[in-house]
Amino acid sequence: MKIFLAQQNYHIGNFEANTKHIIDAIQKAREAGAELAVFTELSVCGYPPRDFLEFDDFIRQCEAAIDEIKSHTSDIAVIVGAPARNPRPEGKDLFNAAWFMHEKEVKAVVHKTLLPTYDVFDEYRYFEPAYEWNVISFKGEKIALTICEDIWNLGDNPLYRICPMDELMKQHPDIMINISASPFDYDHDEDRKEVVRLNCLKYNLPMFYCNAVGSQTEIVFDGGSLVYDRAGNLVKEMKYFEEDYCIVDSRESGVGSQQPGENSRESGVRSQQPGENSRESGVRSQQPGTVTLEKDMRVKKIKDPNMIIPYLTAEHNIAQIHTALVLGIRDYFSKMGFSKAILGSSGGIDSAVTLVLACEALGAENVRAVLMPSHFSTSHSVDDAVALSKNLGNPYDIIPIKNIYDSFLDTLSPVFKDLPFGIAEENVQSRTRGNLLMAISNKFGYILLNTSNKSELATGYGTLYGDMAGGLSVLGDVYKMQVFALAKYINREREIIPLNIISKPPSAELRPNQKDSDSLPDYAVLDKVLFQYIERRQGPKEIIALGIEEALVQRILKLVNTNEYKRNQFCPIIRVSIKAFGVGRRMPIVGKYLS
């Protein structure tokens, strides 16, 4: 069977645009001679639709879209993702479903069994798990159709009680198709390939794996759809971070590899080069029969503490983060209906990296940098920020904050009296900048990009409504050590970010001669502890056992936990790690734990 995979970027709730996008791809598939066109999980409404799913009107719009798409399936079969109503009175109202349509009819609706309800996922909030499992017969082949997480339970230590593919194997399928919305995090692509490969080995079947692409507020979907043959060889790996289409014939040698005794079928158009078949993921390869996944694959890596910083800053990861952030910015703006960004450019490394990424995503002419020096800014800060914008060719303004700051202090003097300069005065400067940026943003229709990094957010080293302001956080899931690595990566061919910005000691410049190191531990130690605590969810005992001083560990964990209230008011963060602040990490604010 000639199967067309459509790796597309949808807009949540934008039924008109999504339906047109799907129908256009059906036409592409038709023109390529495909018999079946496969789309991604919840493609009709976009993933994740969240609480829109609780509106009957939203479900009716999904159904109307299915009806329209169905009318384009007279001569080609189509699989799309959309919610399906649960006809039983008991259980959640909906299933997360794959709709198989052909001859202008819905021929089968397959329900998702394994509903991810962890990190950024809330599927059990909306969906009932599948009650039954049936293959779909089409063109003489039996298709085992599953949805995303359904193929992530393979071994002896899974998150789930049920293995949907084991159930489907009772009906002797010929091929596996999985429609996914599997988000990006750096270094996760190899996991995904390994899971698809292990499924092929376990079931001795080829798999067509179609994944979503595009960024949805904070979650980046990276595409990279896959075809593996039944021997676990990679047949096709689609593009990452962009839309892509491909057609693969399941009867090709190297894909379907017919069973002995099966009739030989005519081979269709070849879309792969023979050499592509030999690509293997290699890493973590295992013997068939010993397929095991850890209970939470996402917290599996890097147990040697000395490998944490090298892992965080590995060029492979940094390159992926770079591309993901550019996509994250671009999609946020286009889906919000904006084209122009503004940001505060301090001459520091965080705003420099943010500015470079924004220019790449939106075009330098659409990114306005605002330099807002204060009493405490060093002269080189302004020079460095100007040099950066000259390198990039983006517009910039210099707006000193001295007069506003002075008028704040003057107005506050009856209240503050003779109390010494402190955090309050530092924050007034930061909030004055936030206010200026928002004013320009409101006046001209920019979205303010936030420049805080993950190490700052973790420790609360930032000012609410000041440098924590913004509509989208670019670096909020990127530790400071990774920001340095990103800067070097950006400069890999030529000096885009002035070297002085990279080499000078980080400073908020809110009081004379201030340095981050006055308030925070060395970033190489800080980031190591934060990674253990945030990504790996280790407690103080385990982190101290790595050889880090007890008082330092306790101080850092306390900073993280007592600053939950600040992060709670922070903007969406483009997620690039296995555990970002935001919807994927839900902490009590009034809690008192390690604090």
Site for its own copies in 452-481 (CB under 8 A): 464-465, 469, 471
- Catalytic residue, from 2, 35, 41, 426: name it: 41
* Interactions with its own copies, residue window 278-337 (CB under 8 A): 295, 331-332, 335-336
Size of the site for its own copies (CB under 8 A): 101
Binding to its own copies (CB under 8 A) within 508-567 occurs at: 537-542, 565
What are residue 240's DSSP bridge partners? 223
Nearer to its own copies, 14 or 491 (CB): 14
* Bridge partners (DSSP) listed for residue 540: none
Can you list the positions of beta strands (E) in 76-224?
Answer: 77-85, 94-102, 105-111, 136-138, 141-147, 175-180, 207-211, 213-216, 219-222
Please identify, using beta-carbon distances, which residue of 91 and 140 lies nearer to its own copies: 91
**Given 410, 493, 512, 513, the residue binding its own copies (CB under 8 A):** 410
Token look-up 């459509």 returns 6
411 binding its own copies? (CB under 8 A) = yes
Among 45, 62, 148, 210, the active-site one is 148
Q: Is 33 in the site for its own copies (CB under 8 A)?
A: no
Q: Which is closer to its own copies, CB of 32 or CB of 162? A: 162
Q: Smaller CB distance to its own copies: residue 446 or 479?
A: 446
Q: In angstroms, rounded to a whole number, what is the distance separating the alpha carbons of residues 255 and 240?
A: 22
Cβ nearer to its own copies, comparing 249 with 331: 331
Our CB check for its own copies shows the closer of 257 and 400 to be 400
Burial of residue 581 (CB within 10 Å: 0-12, 13-18, 19+) is buried
User: Is 403 a residue that touches its own copies (CB under 8 A)?
Assistant: yes
E strand or H helix at 322: helix 315-336
Tokens of 155: 């071994």
Counting contacts by CB under 8 A, is residue 407 touching its own copies?
Answer: yes
Out of 25, 26, 428, 520, point to the residue binding its own copies (CB under 8 A).
428
Among 64, 524, 545, 587, interactor with its own copies by CB under 8 A: 587
| Residues in Cβ contact with 501 at an 8 Å cutoff, skipping those fewer than 6 apart | 347, 348, 349, 352, 384, 388, 487
Question: Does 54 sit near its own copies (CB under 8 A)?
Answer: yes
Name the one range near its own copies by CB under 8 A: 27-35, 103-111, 178-186, 407-415. Answer: 407-415
Q: Is 112 a catalytic residue?
A: yes
CA dist., res. 113 & res. 131, Å (int): 8
- Note if 592 is an active site residue: no
Give, as ranges, the residues between 70 and 89 that touch its own copies (CB under 8 A): 89
Report, in angstroms and rounded to the nearest whole number, the Rg of the chain calculated over CA atoms.
26
For residues 99 and 28, what is the distance between their CA atoms, to the nearest angstrom?
19
Stretch that binds its own copies, among 100-108, 254-262, 409-417, 453-461 (CB under 8 A): 409-417
Residues 152-211 that bind its own copies (CB under 8 A): 156-161
Pairing, β 36-38 against β 2-7: parallel
Instruction: Kindly give the interhelix angle for 402-416 and 423-444, rounded to the nearest 10 degrees.
Output: 130
d(CA 106, CA 117): 29
For residue 250, the cross-strand partners are none
Q: In whole angstroms, what is the distance from residue 508 CA to residue 372 CA? A: 12
**CB of 142 or CB of 585, closer to its own copies:** 585
- Binding segment for its own copies (CB under 8 A), chosen from 221-229, 231-239, 276-284, 404-412, is 404-412
- E strands, 457-577, in order: 472-473
Is 415 one of the binding residues for its own copies (CB under 8 A)?
A: yes
Count CB atoms within 10 A of the CB of residue 23. 15
Judge contact between 110 and 131, C-beta under 8 A. Answer: no
User: Within 13 A of 503's CA, how many CA atoms are on the CB side?
Assistant: 6
Is 68 labeled as catalytic in the residue annotation?
no
CB under 8 A: which stretch of 106-114, 151-159, 307-315, 545-553 binds its own copies? 151-159
Kindly state whether residue 400 participates in binding its own copies, applying the rule CB under 8 A: yes
Does residue 338 bind its own copies (CB under 8 A)? no
Contact between 421 and its own copies by CB under 8 A: the answer reads: no
Report, as residue numbers or ranges, the catalytic residues. Answer: 41, 112, 148
